[in-house]
């Protein structure tokens, strides 16, 4: 009997600050329109999504401010590393994102980039910005869990 293929690899890039700075309410999986040299760089893990965000323009979801390094052997086919990339979502999901982003304090950020069946996917999250006291509470909770795990190991 043949083995099943692995559906999802580990994340190629994660935005660790997103869950700290935003209270993520909803997530979407989106495909990304990339050129040939860009997908090679993504597969090599040369992508940074820390400063990225998602906007909706003319009925298209766009991934802005995500850096994909130029492919070393790419010569003239390399494109601008910070160019705006189109996200592939269903129309109803794009409309839903558009409505959500019109609210004050709501931001759509990329959380994770991974490969699924050979295609680059981005997990985007709709989040509301946290206040400073919420961030302090998150730090306190994380430290308490870390201390409990240390005591449990002993």
59 found inside a domain: yes
Put simply, whether the predicted model's pTM sits higher than 0.75 gets the answer yes
Residue 28 lies in domain = 13-153
Residues of the chain with pLDDT under 70: 1-9
Distance CA 57, CA 131 (A): 28
CATH for 103: 2.40.280.10
Residue 71 burial (CB < 10 Å; 0-12/13-18/19+)? buried
Please report the pLDDT score of residue 38 as a whole number. Answer: 86
Matching residue, tokens 């690899």: 9
Q: Side-chain half-sphere of 58: how many Cα atoms within 13 Å?
A: 1
Matching residue, tokens 């991974």: 114
6 found inside a domain: no
5 found inside a domain: no
In the chain, the number of structural domains is 1
Alpha-carbon dihedral of residues 136, 142, 148, 150, nearest 10 degrees? -120
Please report the pLDDT score of residue 121 as a whole number. Answer: 92
């Amino acid at each position: 009997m043949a083995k099943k293929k692995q559906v999802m690899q580990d994340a190629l890039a994660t935005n660790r600050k997103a869950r700290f700075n935003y209270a993520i309410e909803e997530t979407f999986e989106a495909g990304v329109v990339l050129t040939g040299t860009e997908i090679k760089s993504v597969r090599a893990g040369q992508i940074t999504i820390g400063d990225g965000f998602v906007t909706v323009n003319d009925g298209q979801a766009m991934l802005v401010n995500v850096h994909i390094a130029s492919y070393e052997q790419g010569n003239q086919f390399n494109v601008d590393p910070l160019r705006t990339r189109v996200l592939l979502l269903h129309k109803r999901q794009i409309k839903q994102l558009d409505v959500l982003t019109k609210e004050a304090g709501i931001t759509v950020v990329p959380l994770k980039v991974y490969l699924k069946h050979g295609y680059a996917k981005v997990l985007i999250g709709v989040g509301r910005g946290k206040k400073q006291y919420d961030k302090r509470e998150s730090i306190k909770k994380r430290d308490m869990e870390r201390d409990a795990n240390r005591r449990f190991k002993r």
